[in-house]
Amino acid sequence: MKEFWNEEIINKSWNALIELNKKFDFVVIGGWAVYLWTKAYKSKDIDIVVDFSELEKLKREFNVEKNERLKKFEIKQDFFDIDIYVPFYSNLLFPLEKLLKQYKIVEGFKVPSMEVLVILKQQALKERKGIKAKKDAYDIMLLLIKGVNLKKYVNIIKKINKPELLDMLINTISKINVKDHDYFGLNFKQFANIKKKLIKELKNLKKKI
């Protein structure tokens, strides 16, 4: 698979994430979390969720800047950024205080469940344009192909009172061109069948909301 970002930057970001994981306690979200689940496209920027005590530890080692507008903290690196989200401050759709307790372990990293990660990726997709938005959409599709439990996903969006995310998900899948099948490691027929099946299942679930 052809990567979205420069290979050198990707490797630097990945190595930085590994080093962070040795020293700090966090849940990885964003593109690197998708990579850990799917082993498809690597990421560039690092997105993590921490509690406030861990944020203080990060401040002792890095120049952590507060982004009041986007309700997050940032560590600026030469080629990529580390974005830090904290409970009761950051405006992510899934409650971060729950995420810090309800995570999965994948290759030694704490990550959200695939169902929660799809929701977080939907939020990112809604807020971005261009190549980043395209990667968000492909990340969502990769997670769905990997095996997102659609019933669990629907239950979660109902609990967080965001049922409209289901329509957005159907729309996102529908807009992905079948000709882009090679981005997902599938042939044309395989991808077309999976896409059709997912849309059908999601539309059936919509009737029950």
pLDDT tens, 124-164?
999 888 878 888 999 999 999 999 999 999 999 999 999 99
Domain locations along the chain:
1-112, 113-209
pLDDT tens, 79-111?
889 999 999 999 999 999 999 999 999 999 999
pLDDT tens, 19-64?
999 999 999 999 999 999 999 888 889 999 999 999 999 999 999 9
Q: What is the CATH number of domain 1-112?
A: 3.30.460
Report the first-to-last Cα separation within the chain, whole angstroms. Answer: 37
Looking at residue 161, the DSSP 8-state letter turns out to be T
Cα separation, 123 vs 93, whole angstroms? 7
